[in-house]
Amino acid sequence: MTDEDTFRLILQHTYERKENLVQINTRATLAIPTILVAIWGIEGGLDNFRNAWILSFISIGLVLIWRFFAHFIDGDIAKIYIEIVRAENRLGVPDDLSFFNNFMKSITKNQTIMHIDDDLKVKLLEYLKNKNLMGFRGHEKWDFFAFLLIFLFTVSTIFQSIFNTIPIFHPHHLVEFIIISETALIVFSLLIGLVFTILIKTIFQKIAQIQTDPDLEKLKKLCPSLFNEKKTD
């Protein structure tokens, strides 16, 4: 077996690992709605306010584990990207067919990518990986969905719990008082839900290694030869 055959096998194995990790993330994402529906179907969900607290905590924990796991897997995928580029460099894959060019176009919104040295390709990807700038790959949408669920779980649980546990004494003929009290309860639940969700999101973003899209202008300054930037007067 020649060195070229060896690197072809390495490249093939690396692509297979990448696809396996992508499939794991996809299956986990598809499983989450089913699991949440099953959880909230237990003992009536919100129909039983005592269970609502428990089910909300379980659901929020599940959603956070899902997103942390997704970003953990995504970090491994980003490392595999670097391995793919190393293998392609050894095989001399043309730029127009290379993974590097396609990847850089995807995170730079289809900018024209110029030829750069193979070592520079690897160093650039390693820099982006260390700075968590290897691209969203759709995770920002799922993160938004996850924190929206957390917000809804929190608001609905607070509203139901207070509404069912705190007696509201008011003369039933005063419609205005009823409307004001219920509106205040809704606003209070929304505010608490919003504060709690922002707090959880802030902590999550500090703990999880979330890959994001790089700033295009900073990337051009970092590696101008990649874009063949021309100086302007």
- pLDDT beneath 70: ranges in the chain: 1, 42-51, 163-181, 229-233
pLDDT score at 230: 52
pLDDT of residue 113: 80
Do 40 and 46 touch, CB atoms closer than 8 A?
A: yes
155 contacts 190 by C-beta, under 8 angstroms: yes
Measured CA to CA, the distance from residue 198 to residue 98 in angstroms comes to: 41
| Model pLDDT for residues 123-162, shown as the tens digit of each residue | 999 999 998 988 888 899 999 999 999 999 898 888 777 7
Quick one: tokens of 25?
A: 């993330």
Q: What is the pLDDT of residue 69?
A: 94
pLDDT of residue 197: 94
Per the rule left: phi > 0, alpha: psi between -120 and 50, beta: everything else, 137 is left
State the pTM of this model.
Answer: 0.82
* Distance of alpha carbon 113 from alpha carbon 100, whole angstroms: 9
